Amino acid sequence: MKSTLFYKVTLGFLFLLLTYTPYLSAQNLPVMIYGGSNDERCFAIVEAANNDGYLLAGWTKSYGPGTPAFSNVLAVKVDSFGVPQGGYISQGIFDDEGHSLTQTLDGGYAMTGWTKSYGFFPSDSSDIFVVKTDSIGTLQWGYVYGSPWC
């Protein structure tokens, strides 16, 4: 009887420990939330040069023209602690999304995605874009590729 009670108490304790340990440890993790009062999505993240933080790419419906009905490309540079250091928001009037990015050899960044604001119209067709920025996010050039070729 004593050993059965001991095993039940021990199993109950282990169950509680295993159930609540991930929850308790997650409470100590730093979390940064970026965005505004509407939807935001992040599709890509790349480490900046010299461990100088990260660059995130996606879209926002909180900032820029056409929001909240349409999305704008959003790129945010954060330091190694996640504190925003700067950003870029496209100025298109229809849906635009950033989906992939990479760091270039000169320390800048290249981002690709799709756009309905630039390129060939009507706006119900989307086109591919690629943009190049310097290390602090200043736009250097951009191209749109699309209909009727895509």
* Tokens, residue 144: 């749109």
Residue 74's domain comprises: 40-136
Is 59 in the same domain as 18?
no
What does the alpha-carbon distance between residue 74 and residue 72 come to, in Å, rounded to a whole number? 6
* Residue 95: partners with Cβ closer than 8 Å, 6 or more residues away: 70, 71, 115, 116, 117, 126
| 75 in a structural domain | yes
Please count the structural domains in the chain.
2
Residues in the chain with pLDDT < 70? Answer: 1-30, 120-123, 147-150
Is 75 in the same domain as 128?
yes
What does the alpha-carbon distance between residue 48 and residue 78 come to, in Å, rounded to a whole number? 9
DSSP bridge partners of 46: 55
| 113 in a structural domain | yes
| 16 in a structural domain | yes
| Residue 112 φ then ψ, to 5° | -120, 160
| 52 in a structural domain | yes
* Tokens, residue 56: 């995130």
DSSP secondary structure letter of residue 82? S
Is 68 in the same domain as 130?
yes
